[in-house]
Amino acid sequence: MRTVAVVGASLAGLSAARSLRRQGYDGRLVVIGDELHRPYDRPPLSKEFLAGTLGETDLALESDDEDLRAEWLLGTRAVGLDGPRHAVRLADGSEVRADGVVIATGAAARTLPGTAGLAGVHTLRTLDDARALRDELALGGRLVVIGGGFVGAEVASTAYALGLDVTVVEAAPTPLAGPLGATMGAVVSALHADHGVRLLCGVGVKGLGGERRVDAVLLEDGRSVPADLVVVGVGARPCVDWLTGSGLALTDGVECGADGRTGLPGVVAVGDCASWYDPRAGLHRRVEHWTGARERPDAAVAALLAGGAAQPGLPRPPYFWSDQYGVKIQFAGHAAGADSVAVEEGAPDDRNVLAVYRRAGHPVAVLGMNQPRLFTRWRKQLATAA
């Protein structure tokens, strides 16, 4: 290969670029990113950066002396891929021809229909999003977070610490039931009530009140929740629209094998936009976590450079963490594959728990709340068992 194009300049794209150099690729390397910023760390955006305890320089993912010998095309949006020619078409009308392509375009925050142009309504995905939200949180007032997932919960926790009046609205009966299961999802989401943050579950949002600026969140049951500021945290969609017509299989992201290879030779996909095949479960799934974006590009790059000749290994069980109200939450594995969950250490009421998820008696996932040492031990056992 003489030229490899990495489309996406966040963690997954940077990890792929690093892996290319580490695995011996010494040709032309082009990294394309639609944001103007150099690669930065996203997890602190909803926590330390939003709280003002971390600055923008602290978010940098590259070290001062790092040189990947790459051409960085930042502030440049990819709008199409000519699969057979391996040509990435850019918004300015130009294109980048390559022998190999790494797709790492990530995901974008979902929005509420009809809220465009209404001041005081935010999503949180990018550094620019976090800047705008941080400035408004500094003014105080009443915050309503729509969505009780991890990003929404972290924003609520940060805003509570900043002194805002916070309400979380979640359409599902139990927040976090998807990633954690209903039982432990209820335990983790009880952190809101522990700190006086209102949690309204089992009710959807009908719309937002206000003419130029939001002043209320209107619920489907007829209630109205006053709001000076709204954060919409209702998940993310993979950024794959630009790949329409490329010949790639696009379902919930770019469909890949167990090593990131797509149906087009010389094209792999990594990060939040990639739906990798999971041999254990027999299905494709996206892993939207920092660890996956950091680790999986190694396997995808190996497959790209070997032309598919390398035998893919099994990826490690997905892992993610969250910090809410001073509690460190860690999770590894897939809760959906479990038929039971048991607390092995601690007590749910104390928010100090080590819980193990099992299927037919075998561990498939583990959750820790302020149990870092025991969690680490179980995570290693989980990887070995898998």
Please write the tens of the pLDDT for every residue from 229-248: 999 999 999 999 999 999 99
What Rg, from alpha-carbon coordinates, does the chain have? Answer: 21
- C-alpha distances in angstroms, 334 versus 82, 233, 318, 324, 356? 35, 22, 8, 21, 11
Judged against a pLDDT cut of 70, whether residue 386 lies above it is answered with: no
Judged against a pLDDT cut of 90, whether residue 281 lies above it is answered with: no
Judged against a pLDDT cut of 70, whether residue 29 lies above it is answered with: yes
- Residue 238 CA, chain-centre distance (Å), reads 10
Tokens at 357, concatenated = 């998820």
Judged against a pLDDT cut of 70, whether residue 277 lies above it is answered with: yes
Confidence of residue 310 (pLDDT cuts 50, 70, 90): low
Which pLDDT score, from 0 to 100, does residue 166 have? 98
At residue 116's C-alpha, the angle toward residues 114 and 120, to 5°, is 110
Nearby residues of 45 by Cβ (< 8 Å), 6 or more positions away: 59, 124, 126, 127, 129, 130
% of residues, the chain, pLDDT over 90: 90
The DSSP symbol for 214 reads -
How high does pLDDT run on average in the chain?
95
Which pLDDT score, from 0 to 100, does residue 225 have? 98
Confidence of residue 1 (pLDDT cuts 50, 70, 90): confident
Judged against a pLDDT cut of 70, whether residue 313 lies above it is answered with: no
Strand duo 87-90 + 78-82: pairing? antiparallel
- Using left for φ > 0, alpha for ψ between -120 and 50, and beta otherwise, residue 198 falls in beta
Rounded to two decimals, the pTM is 0.94
For the beta carbon of residue 100, count every other beta carbon within 10 angstroms.
Answer: 23
Q: Do 217 and 188 touch, CB atoms closer than 8 A?
A: no
Judged against a pLDDT cut of 70, whether residue 325 lies above it is answered with: yes
- Cα 335 to Cα 319: distance, rounded to the nearest angstrom: 12
Q: Which of these, 108, 95, 112, 236, lies nearest to 169 by C-alpha position? A: 112
Nearby residues of 82 by Cβ (< 8 Å), 6 or more positions away: 89, 95, 246
- Cα 372 to Cα 197: distance, rounded to the nearest angstrom: 26
Judged against a pLDDT cut of 90, whether residue 116 lies above it is answered with: no
Mean pLDDT, range 275-294, rounded to an integer: 90
Nearby residues of 43 by Cβ (< 8 Å), 6 or more positions away: 290
Which pLDDT score, from 0 to 100, does residue 337 have? 82
Q: Which of these, 148, 119, 324, lies nearest to 232 by C-alpha position? A: 148
Strand partners, 85: none
- Cα 356 to Cα 338: distance, rounded to the nearest angstrom: 9
Q: Which of these, 173, 152, 158, lies nearest to 49 by C-alpha position? A: 158
Judged against a pLDDT cut of 90, whether residue 384 lies above it is answered with: no
For the beta carbon of residue 274, count every other beta carbon within 10 angstroms.
Answer: 31
Strand duo 236-238 + 107-109: pairing? antiparallel
Judged against a pLDDT cut of 90, whether residue 317 lies above it is answered with: no
| Strand arrangement, sheet containing 28-33 | 71-74, 28-33, 3-7, 100-103, 267-269
How many residues are given for the chain?
386
Confidence of residue 250 (pLDDT cuts 50, 70, 90): very high
Mean pLDDT, range 153-176, rounded to an integer: 97
Structure-model confidence comparison of residues 280 and 146, the more confident one: 146
Confidence of residue 280 (pLDDT cuts 50, 70, 90): confident
Which pLDDT score, from 0 to 100, does residue 41 have? 97
Q: Which of these, 68, 70, 56, 101, lies nearest to 83 by C-alpha position? A: 101
- Give the least confident one: 18-27, 211-220, 221-230, 273-282: 273-282
User: Model confidence over 65-95: pLDDT tens digits?
Assistant: 999 999 999 999 999 999 999 999 999 999 9
Judged against a pLDDT cut of 80, whether residue 315 lies above it is answered with: no
User: Model confidence over 326-362: pLDDT tens digits?
Assistant: 999 999 999 988 999 999 999 999 999 999 999 999 9
Which pLDDT score, from 0 to 100, does residue 309 have? 61
